[in-house]
Amino acid sequence: MNANLFARLEARIADPNRIAIELPDGTPISYGALRTRTARIANRLKALGLQTGDRVAVQVEKSVDALALYFATVRAGGVFLPLNTAYTLAELEYFIGDAGPRIVVCDPSREAGLKPIAAKPGGTVATLGADGSGSLLAGIDALPGDFATEPRQGDDLAAILYTSGTTGRSKGAMLTHDNLVSNAETLIGYWRFTDKDTLIHALPIYHTHGLFVASNVVLFSGAKMIFLPKFDANDVLKRMSKATTLMGVPTFYVRLLQAPGLTKEATAGMRLFVSGSAPLLADTHREWSARTGHAILERYGMTETNMNTSNPYDGDRVPGAVGFPLPGVSVRVADPETGKILGPDEIGMIEVKGPNVFKGYWNMPEKTASEFRPDGFFITGDLGKIDAKGYVHIVGRGKDLIITGGFNVYPKEIEAEIDAIPGVFESAVIGIAHADFGEGVTAVVVRNPGATVTEAQIVAALADRLAKFKQPKRVIFVDDLPRNAMGKVQKNVLRETYKDIYKA
């Protein structure tokens, strides 16, 4: 059997005339049309030199063709590498240099800047605009609408997603065809997806949540999605009358709660609201239930593992908890130092094992080995506990990773940029609880003696150096950073000191 993700998806298409995607203006795209589009793009990728196992790096705006490019890449035997549209050229140079993609697909406006970066590892650039413009699709309708899906083993790579850590540079998490398919199939069953569902898809598709969870779950279940270019609370609210499900980050629900039209009547036809990618505040969970009569289903996943746990479809969805281990996934809490397995309500390091867990880090065998226990459990870096009822709770991170708006932020990268600004002596970057973003990136800065550098100047200096989601929402000035006896900055002290900074 061909274990290629697309081959397994194609085998599920019972009716090619069934609608897979609805555009914002109501234009329908059938499963058959989507299959034909992926075939033509796969043929184009082959013409551009794609060989089995080659990487295709993609930084483009959300569109149906961008989604088709993902499926076309794996269909052609390539490895899909989505990149956040906010990344600067300086950031892209690292990702592309590390992954060595054969093809880099970008917005036409970025072609000139990316060509020399892509050329260093021997890659070529193709362009794709949100409106379908660019070289990738030029003359695409003249290409064959059929393509023999490349044979792949379940353990072969389907995608690489870069994730931030707290030591070293970003790491490329290698996800296999089996990783992605197994997680989609598990979630379909656990969240009761059928071909009767319609998902409001307002998430980006360069991220696990929007690409692998939302898109794969919908299409593998034969459902339909209303494919929106971005999240707009009023627009999403209007579309609920024609939908059954919504997947979002906490920001979505905070914004929807601010919309006066959010009522039990407006959400009456919806059966499921899912939240993830960042912590959902318990207050948001409770307010949503009061306003709509629906309990948000919060789940827990990672770039390296897809989804690990979920609150139940039936039963209590506990505010502040991320639910139970998904079927086939094992979750345990261990002492970070000794690896000893801890009991109920004891806080330690969350470790997971299952078919969803990634193959390892790209070109980092030593790092990969250090992140797995001898019995195959992956050490997540998240601190948590499992209560007496079996619910998993995330209580913090053993590392200083910040998750803001669903994106991972590596503090040392930001600190290095801030420390290079004239007038700055040193800095510490932390995450502080934020109602909209889960955590707000916050910089605590010590000035050089006599320096007068301001918050506005620091923010301005970072504007062209870092993606917007990495830029501090606040800059706080202090005389000294708190340190322990070994001289290590005590970020836990800073987080406690400024824990209320984003509260109204």
pLDDT at 484: 67
pTM value?
0.85
* DSSP state letter for 241: G
pLDDT at 399: 67
pLDDT at 485: 53
Exposed / middle / buried, residue 10 (Cβ in 10 Å: 0-12, 13-18, 19+): middle
Residues 476 and 45: their CA atoms lie apart, in Å, by 48
pLDDT at 6: 98
pLDDT at 487: 59
- pLDDT value at 114 more than 90: yes
pLDDT at 165: 45
Q: Which residues contact 222 (CB under 8 A, 6 or more apart)?
A: 12, 13, 14, 18, 31, 194, 195
CB 442 within 8 A of CB 432: yes
Residues 496 and 499: their CA atoms lie apart, in Å, by 5
The helix (H) or strand (E) run that includes residue 90 is: helix 89-99
Q: How confident is the model at residue 166 (pLDDT cuts 50, 70, 90)?
A: very low
Sheet containing strand 245-248, edge to edge, reads: 28-30, 19-22, 224-227, 198-201, 245-248, 272-275, 297-302, 306-310, 324-325
State the amino acid at position 452 in one-letter form: T
Residues 69 and 107: their CA atoms lie apart, in Å, by 13
- pLDDT value at 504 more than 70: no
Angle subtended by helix axes 64-75 and 31-47, to nearest 10: 60
**What mean pLDDT do residues 490-497 have?**
90
**What mean pLDDT do residues 294-306 have?**
96
**What mean pLDDT do residues 370-388 have?**
94
**What mean pLDDT do residues 382-400 have?**
86
Q: Which residues contact 436 (CB under 8 A, 6 or more apart)?
A: 250, 251, 254, 255, 405
Q: How many CA atoms lie within 13 A of 364 on its CB side?
A: 21
Q: How confident is the model at residue 164 (pLDDT cuts 50, 70, 90)?
A: low
Residues 195 and 199: their CA atoms lie apart, in Å, by 11
Q: How confident is the model at residue 167 (pLDDT cuts 50, 70, 90)?
A: very low
Q: Which residues contact 161 (CB under 8 A, 6 or more apart)?
A: 81, 82, 172, 173, 175, 208, 303
**What mean pLDDT do residues 59-73 have?**
98
Location of structure tokens 């420390």: 419
- pLDDT value at 28 more than 50: yes
Q: CB atoms < 10 A from the CB of 401, how many?
A: 18
CB 107 within 8 A of CB 129: yes
pLDDT at 22: 98
Tokens of 14: 């019972």
Exposed / middle / buried, residue 285 (Cβ in 10 Å: 0-12, 13-18, 19+): buried
- Mean pLDDT check: name the lowest of 145-149, 278-282, 291-295, 454-458: 278-282
Three-state DSSP class for 378?
strand
Q: CB atoms < 10 A from the CB of 244, how many?
A: 18
pLDDT at 278: 76
- pLDDT value at 401 more than 80: no
CB 146 within 8 A of CB 10: no
pLDDT at 140: 97
Q: How confident is the model at residue 320 (pLDDT cuts 50, 70, 90)?
A: confident
- pLDDT value at 74 more than 50: yes
